[in-house]
Chain A
């Protein structure tokens, strides 16, 4: 009899993927400006490190929240004992207000429909446990966050069937792609229980259009299945078009108390918008009270520390602070993103035009020795080991086209970003591409130039601007 469970011995946790292997290489040789200037620069971590000063200054002005005090009285005991899986009411209220504010107050949320979980990791898994079981599947548009392979499938037994999206239309979801995925699931005898999207998208860094959202609602209504919208990056939308939540579209077209209303669920977290992944604050929001009830009970397996709930409820209740934070955070993200984009341009590399997230979806197809995933891996290894940048290859995100990479920009200082871009530029200019002539390179770039709807400025090898 095998000693351990199948779950313990399989590789479903997905941690043998290149996404995680890159991190391991980084950990062996991490860049440090002073101690290890030749180390690997981490650009594979979608963290928001740009706005800690704002959080720290709030803390300095609010010592009570920090020190387990309310109105001068110690509430340590109350907090230490608080393990009610319904969560701290003040925290839930502050969260729904914050979520509404991010959405321009076009949607409101009911605190009684919020479930607190240990990060979005736990939120997504919990929703799978509630909505699906072994033999069921969820449809996910590619490319998608590599962690979903673990979070959605590992312990739940649920399968992921990809909805293929391509660069031909900026990776947007189409009706036919949805239908093809659905049929594919049926063909392999998987029962489709729903669709899960990330909006804004990881790894694309783009917000979904209203058309896409409408399409999704039509699809799930027609198939009588669920829709989960992971809106973990909703607070990182730094330029137009403005973020449109699935809840806003739902509200606009479907009255409450219809079937579809109860089948749309939102996942949220403070890990990206506030840059607090260590605090493990995840949220499930569902209109369906049965799901809220079941998920609430399941949250017992991963509640949010009461110490953390208390601190953040004080912080998020400070409306003056949240308004200032959201606005400044957006500006800083936009500024940093444009530094990455222009740095890439100088290295003759383009990326998908993005308006959100902590990363860009970078097009390195022209640097591949062949249009294959093997070539993508080959290029990726060179970038990790020779150029010493940990970026995430598109294949780890299940992208169907080789040559795309996710590159993060908010988890380092501006100087480090500049250095990373210099390294990349040196690499591109010194690299010899196997079986491709210089002319081939120019031709492929010209082709790319016409493909870009939004006209990224693209410099050829002959007329690069000096740094």
Chain B
């Protein structure tokens, strides 16, 4: 109807533009999964979800803790006397016990090499809210942040959508295992300058999504000295910090600056419990800044995304239980290591290699040998086969802005062992079939669509 168009003109540009990025063909993968989700008994031929970076390996440990600690819930007989105080608590400083517990947890995750100050802990609506909030504090519309590629696709939404900022990618590639080099940083910075784009900082994810690797000490120091020289900010999204399962160990930027001469007002950390604890539903995001003004401002902004006091209370209790935390982190790490080993070994057996990873809930799979042509189109063609025929929802590297076609992120921690085996089995069959087809006459392809730029909005 005509008035629908008229009414649409009455909305903001933000409401009607494509920056949330969900109008991309990528969602075929999600739709394929949603319309035909795998189930071991009810739908064994369905699509297996390997595009969702969730940690589902340790719920048994958490469930056990919850049953043993009914007082941590304000709704049980043991905890209900706290109900009133907790349910009216909306102070944006957050519950003291919650901040203390989170600070201690972050310290523990950083190998006890750093002590985090509970008074710098600011809540947000998940890391999604935290990243956006930090951008609002540090930059104005039109400013830019440098982001090493490949990067988490939803940064395009979280950093840019409502803030009006721009992203300038820092190119990293397989020639050096996608490490961030000083040269690449300088090149991106200069590129932005030539385009009259005002660079306010660099944002990295450490451990990296989608690479599944931790940044080494040398790279971290180089980053810190780069931003210090340019007098721009460094935001480190450390959401996967506790998902490191083999060496080298995780090194937080907080540890790096301990023995570096740098302006601490430029250093900020984003954290969350969504990956390390497996609680994305609880929306626990944290902004931790060494800059007092940023802490101050982010805290006021946290009014737009406070953590439910019911959740703060539960998690304050859980994360203060040192014995539980110690055991959880150890178990989680072991289970991730095992799952990673099984998965990457299974891939190797069929000739697929991955970037050597030591962290995260996924592997960065090298499917370049399987591409018919080393282009984005070639990558998308392969991807459609994997989703529609092999029935695995994996994430193509182009959706992470990877400059080299042929890389795919595949998640392995959001399923149980049996499904991992089934997934590996399907990949194996596909690869073997592909080798046979190379010998046999080629069949005409059914999907010769022109492919657009893709976007994956899961971590």
Contact = CB atoms under 8 A, between A and B. Distances in A.
13 contacts: A3-B233, A3-B266, A5-B139, A80-B281, A81-B54, A118-B305, A259-B3, A277-B90, A298-B161, A300-B129, A301-B129, A305-B281, A305-B307
Given A7-B297, A65-B75, A76-B66, A225 B308 contact: no
B451 interface: no
B305 A301 contact: yes
A271 interface: yes
A52 interface: yes
A290 B80 contact: no
B248 to A, nearest CB: 29
Contacts of B125: 118, 122, 300-303
B66 A68 contact: yes
B308 A301 contact: no
A155 B136 contact: yes
Contacts of B282: 80, 305-307
User: Main SS of the interface on chain B?
Assistant: helix
A276 interface: yes
Contacts of A6: 140
A365 B279 CA distance: 53
Interface in A59-97: 59-60, 63, 65-68, 74, 76-77, 79-83
Contacts of B266: 3
Contacts of B54: 81
B306 A80 contact: no
Interface string B133-172: 0001111100100000000000001100110000000000
B280 A80 contact: yes
B283 A121 contact: no
Interface stretch (A33-41, A124-132, A181-189, A370-378): A124-132
A209 B288 CA distance: 48
Interface in B53-105: 54, 56, 59, 62-63, 66, 70, 73, 75-77, 80, 83-84, 86-90
Interface size class of A (residues with CB under 8 A): 35 or more
A130 B12 contact: yes
A33 B125 CA distance: 36
A80 B90 CA distance: 22
A121 B62 CA distance: 32
A199 B53 CA distance: 43
B57 to A, nearest CB: 11
Given A8-B293, A81-B278, A280-B90, A55 B10 contact: no
A60 B80 contact: yes
A307 B13 contact: no
B311 A225 contact: no
A388 B294 CA distance: 33
Interface in A257-279: 257-259, 262-263, 271, 275-279
B110 interface: no
A225 B10 contact: yes
Closest 5 CB pairs of A and B: A66-B75, A278-B309, A306-B281, A302-B305, A305-B308
Contacts of A13: 297, 300-301
Interface of A: 1, 3-9, 13, 15, 47, 49, 52, 55-56, 59-60, 63, 65-68, 74, 76-77, 79-83, 118-119, 121-122, 125, 129-133, 136, 150-151, 155, 193, 224-226, 257-259, 262-263, 271, 275-280, 288, 290-291, 294, 297-298, 300-308, 311
A302 B293 CA distance: 22
Contact of A60 (B1, B77, B138): B77
B56 A131 contact: no
User: Main SS of the interface on chain A?
Assistant: helix
Given A118-B125, A301-B304, A307-B308, A130 B280 contact: no
B281 A307 contact: yes
B85 to A, nearest CB: 9
A220 to B, nearest CB: 11
B304 A121 contact: yes
Contact of B309 (A3, A122, A279): A279
Given A129-B14, A303-B126, A67 B281 contact: no
Given A130-B12, A305-B307, A263 B7 contact: yes
Given A83-B280, A305-B307, A5 B7 contact: no
Given A155-B162, A193-B10, A304-B308, A129 B15 contact: yes
Contacts of B440: none
B6 interface: yes
Contacts of B20: 294, 297
A258 B307 CA distance: 39
A5 B136 contact: yes
Contacts of A303: 125-126, 283
B338 interface: no
B63 A302 contact: no
B281 A290 contact: no
Given A67-B70, A81-B54, A59 B59 contact: no
A307 B312 CA distance: 11
Contacts of A276: 87-88
Interface string B310-344: 11001000000000000000000000000000000
A52 B82 CA distance: 11
B310 A278 contact: yes
B231 interface: yes
A82 B305 CA distance: 17
Contacts of B265: 3
Nearest to B132: A301
A348 B454 CA distance: 69
Contacts of A59: 75-76, 80, 83
Contacts of B83: 52, 55-56, 59
B22 interface: yes
Contacts of B90: 119, 271, 277-278, 280
B16 interface: yes
B185 to A, nearest CB: 18
